[in-house]
Structure 1
Amino acid sequence: MKEIEVLRRSSFGQRTAEEERARLKQYFVETEYWRQVFQGEIDIVYGPKGSGKSAIYSLISQSKDELFDRNILVVPGENPQGTPAFKGIGDDPPKNEHEFVNLWKLYILTLCGQSIKDYGITNKKCSLLLKSLEDANLISSNFTLAKALKYAFDYVKRWARPQAVEAELEIDPITGQPNVTGRIVFQEPSAQDARNGCISVDDLFRTASEALHESGYTIWVVLDRLDVAFADKPELEMNALRALFKFYLDTKSNNNISTKIFLRNDIWSSITEEGFREASHIERSINIEWSNEDLTNLVIQRALSNQAICEYYNVDKEEILGSFSSQEYFLTQIFPDQVETGPNKPKTFQWMITRTCDAAQSTMPRELIHFLNELKSVQIIRLERGRANLIGKKLFESAAFKEALPAVSKVRLEQTLYAEFPELKPYIEKLKEQKATQPLENLEILWDTDKDEALEIVNRLEKVGFFERMGGNKGTNWRVPFLYRPALNLVQGSADVSDATKKIDTDED
């Protein structure tokens, strides 16, 4: 088989777990992170964007049958694709954190009740739970996550904002509370209310957990894509997520209901930046990181998932995956020794790692997978046009690597950095065609700011992984990582003040 046919018949997968759900199990790297989550040892998974959080989430969802054999019911708390359920609360969100905590409690409780009903789990406590939810009109015959969230939020609003529903509901003249349909309350009921059938949402949560325990089941409510659900609404996002973690801590003692949260670590940092006392009580968590060995294994797993590549090299997939030295050697069979030749130049795989990492020096699977797919496309085009110069049985040549990088750089810049931090775009755009390393004085001129404002902008660009400070905390030069340089046409080297002045003069002309 010719190299071009091997490449045409091969794929390195999609950049996001949402796009490759059908094939994810074929080449998912079962890391220790995955094992801990799958065994129920971990509840909170932090990681940078593209680190594989959603892949773990997707695999948990795809492993429903396997988990069911362990009496674990997997219940999604957010739509894995399409419009997020939480998009619907953006126009009239909870007014404060307390209201949001109550919403989380009632929403997750509704999901548990619906799941208990769907699976036909029955006992006295299940009946009490379902009757309480049905009396409050929280369980619908045509169930969707968006509908469950709306019903829960409407119920919370009736209790939290009696003035907003006075036209619809009769207000108790003594308590000042609305006479809401349903007996679920958000505080401990009085003795009289308890005798009348009222039950607090916390007690109902315990009842649900005990009902599951008696039946031998556990529910995992899994939450992902929360950054998408609250996109463009940072204040709402902070309120929602702080409330989510308070809900998690309030309910984690209910052993048969476990909430699994998948969250970007930069969002977690924002939550805790101004203080979050509850953070120290969150223990069952992991932060996803990828070593070079992990990334090597990821590339090999995806390469060997292609029958065409296995046949071309006449190799046994399991034999190679069983030895890391065999994996390293197989990389040398596929790739050239170096992209840029020279005694001080890195080997090809290390070149790929350094070109796809941000200023935090972390390469995520998303960018590496994207690079491999672009590399494949570029190499096919070179072969089609008779420009290829492959050595031996290698599938890729050095020239293809440099041609593949700009597409990855452009997508990362525009679809991640600009999309998530649009307020930083004007400052980044000013760096186009400049040197990759910039002194602070130069940045003041380019951005037309004073020193303090320039430092504030620089600190924000550092935080999002666009700038790396040179020379430690006291350094006054900042470098753009290789990942972003092609998209901005940056030039290797350090700038001086005259470079910025020339840029300003050119723009004015």
Structure 2
Amino acid sequence: MKARQILVGCDFGEDVADYDLELSQYFVETSSFLDVIHDRADLILGEKGSGKSAIFRHIAHSSDGIAPLRNVHVIPAFNTRGSVVFKNLSAHDNLPEEVLRTVWFTYLIALAVNHLANLYPKSGGRQISRLLKKYGLHSAQSDAQGIWAKIKRILEALNAQVEAEGELKFDPGSIPVSLGIRGKLSRLTGNGSEGGIDSILDACIAVLLETGTRCWIVFDRLDEAFYDNPDLEAVALRSLLRAHLDLASHQSPLKSKLFLRSEILERVTVGRGFVNATHLRRQYLKWDRPSIVALIARRIMARPDVADSLNLEYGLLRNQDGRLKVCGAVLPPRIDHQTLADWFENCTTDGRGALNPRNAITLLKQARAIQLEHYDRDDPEYVPGRPLIHWLPIRQGLQKLSVMRMEDTVLAERPDLRPLLRLMQAKPARMTRDQLSAILRPAAEKGASFEQALQSLLDSGLIASGANPNILTVPELYRHALKLTIHRSSGSELDVDEVSSMQVSADAACRRVLKCGITQYILDADDVQRHVISDHVRANYPELSATEHRVRSTGFRAVGVRSKEPTMTINGRLVLRTDDPAQFDDAEILTMEASVISAFEEATSRRASTFTPKLPLALRTQVNDWSSILRRKLGGSVGFVADLQDTGGRFRAQFAPDIPGVDISAQEKNVRNENAIQELKSYLEAACIEVINSGDVARIRPLGDASRSKAEEILSTFPVKVSTETTKRGHTVLRVSSEATN
């Protein structure tokens, strides 16, 4: 079967719950969801894309299949399509918070009672219908739009009275305004047996108790209602929260549930005071790595034909190991040397650090589309065990996600940040507060202080502040959208695409070191690129190290990717350098290395002065200047070093009685001078041990005065004698012998 055919069927579902008709098939029951359905929370908080709407849709459309909700009427207090009905509150922003509190409370009761009057016409339905009609709250259309139309008329009447009388007085315990049958505006005191909102609420509770049911009035999409009017948002949501607490105080089977963005709650309550805030039963939606894995695995298994093609059983979803196996059939188990879940956590979260299932699904959908484009060109067969989506489309999908979230989340909600983001473009991804202050100085000159700008960026998740508050970092999620550079050196910069290219080269080199047993692999790199490679290796390949140095024979800057624990322990090291790490495949490198090692070991065993590895002709012609590539890099036992020379198509390694020295003087200005000294010390220690054990003589060749001085200082700590000699080639060496031989 073709890989493309399988991937076409694996579409990962929709990333917006409102449009996902198959949500119930792969809904993930997190601990937050369980708290909601067991009525342990009323205020469900989360970031955008954290799954608030998904929970609402699941409990609203699948309540019959959820055991704790089988006797619960879930009534949406909002319209799921089109502009949010509450948005027209903007026409009544002159009403005080206390008035809106009673309006919201009236709306909650009207929603529940209209629903119950239609559902149970014989169980108290007549009484509540009569009350609704008396107060002008009865609606043939009992959904949110129909009931809000009644509330809208109340709001208009209140506005009219404010304009006519200049003030509004009413009893908070009553319905503020009633529109009689003839449209006459009147005030309801609520003191009579049927004169207030409490009488309607009591009738509603009686119906619920008689029928043995409960009723939840659920709010969502509140972030869409007042995003363009922060003052109204604060008043409207605070009054809604107070109405919610009013209803909760009755401890009845009728409750309201509010799904709200956590940052909006902070915005409307922090600094303004909110009495009884501790009475709000809150539940923060949080996702961890196992939950993200479960989300992806369920969406893969949602299509039986895809599961069959991949030879996956549904029972794999029962435990984490099985879910990882499902994910591994479609996605690479590791990306950038991180586990799949770790990579998603590091790359799809904003500066606030919360895992976001919407971002994960959006990225996968983008990666799938890119992979399908590749399959359209190549159309390969599916190979069991090989992921359907490769790592490169996933990285490219991250770039698309970065641009999307910048546009549809950050700038859509905070267009005022656009001038700041323009200033941050093509700047470092990691900076100090002073550096960011200098970058944003043009904005500060126009009126916005740096502290205000910084707080806006932090609140929007565009930057993160870690344990060190002086260091600020732009999260991976937004780096591509901002075209950020990773490092700057001597005025040079790398854009995101160049950085990605260097990381690909580093990945290729690291894979060769790990798979082929090569103990070191050197990549050509300029001053800026070497930092990118080193950081990438250190971050993603903990079993390897990256050392930066200048190659003396050619003068280029390089990065040596080295195994901390070499898998190949012969009498030395093999170092390869090439401008294109993809020049050889793994089999060619193994063939070449085996030939070199075999010849070297044979020569070492017979203490021959030369050896000739048998290299394939293709490798001889593809590698530029083998002499400079391998010179002084095939170290033998102590006292020997291989010098590989080009002899017209044949390659001969000649041993010289020297130990490779380390040029300390050439690295005096290098921050890694300590590493060079440590390397020299290890050479000298090995030489001294060999000399002491064998009674032989070793010759150390320092490459500068500083190296010689340092070598003599280190050698003085060992029980050996040191003198100076000049070799036939004219090199000055240190002659090391044991005290016994002299």
TM-score range, shorter chain: 0.7 to 0.9
Which residue in 2 is equivalent to 1:410?
403
Shift of 1:132: 2.0
> 5+ residue gaps in structure 1?
167-176, 500-509
Which residue in 2 is equivalent to 1:171?
none
Shift of 1:419: 0.7
Hey, what's the Cα distance between the residues in 2 that align with 1:419 and 1:485? 18
Matched, 1:80 2:77: no
Hey, what's the Cα distance between the residues in 1 that align with 2:177 and 2:298? 59
Matched, 1:96 2:92: no
Quick check: 2:42–2:280 contact (8 Å CA) kept in 1?
Answer: no
Shift of 1:186: 6.6
Cα deviations by residue, 1:239-286 (Å, 9 ceiling, x for unpaired):
111111111111112412111111111111112211212211113x21
Which residue in 1 is equivalent to 2:279?
281
Quick check: 1:99–1:160 contact (8 Å CA) kept in 2?
Answer: no
Distance 1:159 1:205, change over 3 A: farther
> Which structure carries more strand by proportion?
2
Of residues 94-103 and 45-54 in structure 1, the stretch that sits farther from structure 2 once superposed is 94-103
Quick check: 2:115–2:142 contact (8 Å CA) kept in 1?
Answer: no
Which residue in 1 is equivalent to 2:555?
none
Quick check: 1:301–1:321 contact (8 Å CA) kept in 2?
Answer: yes
Root-mean-square deviation (CA), in Å? Answer: 3.0
Hey, what's the Cα distance between the residues in 2 that align with 1:133 and 1:496? 76
Distance 1:57 1:94, change over 3 A: farther
Matched, 1:217 2:209: no
Quick check: 2:226–2:232 contact (8 Å CA) kept in 1?
Answer: yes
Cα deviations by residue, 1:107-136 (Å, 9 ceiling, x for unpaired):
111111210122034345x43432222022
Hey, what's the Cα distance between the residues in 1 that align with 2:163 and 2:66? 44
Shift of 1:152: 2.0
> 5+ residue gaps in structure 2?
166-175, 494-742
Which residue in 1 is equivalent to 2:438?
445
Cα deviations by residue, 1:477-499 (Å, 9 ceiling, x for unpaired):
31100000111111224799999
Quick check: 2:465–2:473 contact (8 Å CA) kept in 1?
Answer: yes
Equivalent residue letter for 1:484? Y
Matched, 1:41 2:40: yes
How does 1:56-205 map onto structure 2 within 5 Å?
56-66=55-65, 70-93=70-93, 95-124=95-124, 126-155=125-154, 158=157, 162-164=161-163, 181=180, 188-189=190-191, 194=192, 199-205=195-201
TM-score where L is the length of structure 2: 0.60
SS of match in other structure, 1:259: strand
Matched, 1:239 2:235: yes
Quick check: 2:403–2:478 contact (8 Å CA) kept in 1?
Answer: yes
1:295 to 292, 298, 313: 292
Shift of 1:375: 1.0
Quick check: 2:52–2:259 contact (8 Å CA) kept in 1?
Answer: yes
Quick check: 1:17–1:58 contact (8 Å CA) kept in 2?
Answer: yes
Quick check: 1:461–1:467 contact (8 Å CA) kept in 2?
Answer: yes
> Which structure carries more helix by proportion?
1
Hey, what's the Cα distance between the residues in 2 that align with 1:240 and 1:259? 16
How does 1:476-495 map onto structure 2 within 5 Å?
477-493=471-487
Quick check: 2:4–2:379 contact (8 Å CA) kept in 1?
Answer: no
TM-score where L is the length of structure 1: 0.85
Shift of 1:188: 4.7
Quick check: 1:76–1:223 contact (8 Å CA) kept in 2?
Answer: yes
Which residue in 2 is equivalent to 1:169?
none
Which residue in 1 is equivalent to 2:509?
none
SS of match in other structure, 1:56: helix
Quick check: 1:46–1:263 contact (8 Å CA) kept in 2?
Answer: yes
Which residue in 1 is equivalent to 2:353?
361
Hey, what's the Cα distance between the residues in 2 that align with 1:453 and 1:497? 28
Cα deviations by residue, 1:298-341 (Å, 9 ceiling, x for unpaired):
11111111224312221211x1011211222333343334333x
Hey, what's the Cα distance between the residues in 2 that align with 1:267 and 1:329? 39
Cα deviations by residue, 1:399-427 (Å, 9 ceiling, x for unpaired):
21221111111111100011111111210
SS of match in other structure, 2:92: coil
Of residues 112-121 and 61-70 in structure 1, the stretch that sits farther from structure 2 once superposed is 61-70
| Identity between Structure 1 and Structure 2 (%) | 24
Hey, what's the Cα distance between the residues in 2 that align with 1:497 and 1:199? 78
Equivalent residue letter for 1:311? D
Quick check: 1:375–1:401 contact (8 Å CA) kept in 2?
Answer: yes
Quick check: 1:339–1:399 contact (8 Å CA) kept in 2?
Answer: no
SS of match in other structure, 1:79: coil
1:422 to 409, 415, 424: 415
Of residues 324-333 and 6-15 in structure 1, the stretch that sits farther from structure 2 once superposed is 324-333
Quick check: 1:121–1:215 contact (8 Å CA) kept in 2?
Answer: no
Which residue in 1 is equivalent to 2:268?
271
Shift of 1:371: 0.6
Hey, what's the Cα distance between the residues in 2 that align with 1:281 and 1:382? 55
